[in-house]
Amino acid sequence: MRLKPLLAFAPVRAYNRFVDHRQHLASDPRIRSGKPCIAGTRIAVYDVLEYLASGMSVEDVLADFPHLTRDGILACLAYAANIEKSDPLAQVRRPDY
C-alpha cells in the first residue's frame, strides 16, 4: 500500500519557506492509530510538540532521537500552525461570561 503525504490536498502556508510539512509527515492507520507522524518513524507530531512544550530545545530532541532531522521537527511545528490557523478555537477553552 502506497502512503499518501499527510494533508496532500490542503494548502500549505509558508511558515518556514524551507520546510513543507507534507514532505516530512505521513499518516498510516497501521502506525500510531493513524496519528500524523514524522515520515519513516513512529514518532507522532504530538510527541514532538509535547517535548518542545515541556522545555526541550530542538537540539535536545535531536540528541534524544538522532534519527530525526531539524526539518522533521520544524515540519511538526508547521503542521500545528496550519491546523491552528484553520480552527484556532478547536482545543481552547472559552471563558464563561
pLDDT attached to residue 93:
57
The ranges assigned to domains in the chain are 21-85
In 3D, which of 80, 17, 5, 14 has the Cα closest to residue 50? 80
Summarize pLDDT for 35-87 with one digit per residue, the tens. 999 999 999 999 999 999 999 999 999 999 999 999 999 999 989 988 877 76
Whether the CA torsion 62, 14, 30, 88 is positive or negative: it is positive
Q: In the numeric block, which cell numbers belong to residue 37? A: 507522524
The rounded distance, in Å, linking the Cα atoms of 35 and 90 is: 17
The verdict on pTM exceeding 0.85 is no
Q: Check residues 20 and 9 and name the one with the higher pLDDT.
A: 20
CATH number of this structure's domain 21-85: 1.10.10.10
Summarize pLDDT for 73-93 with one digit per residue, the tens. 999 998 998 887 776 565 555
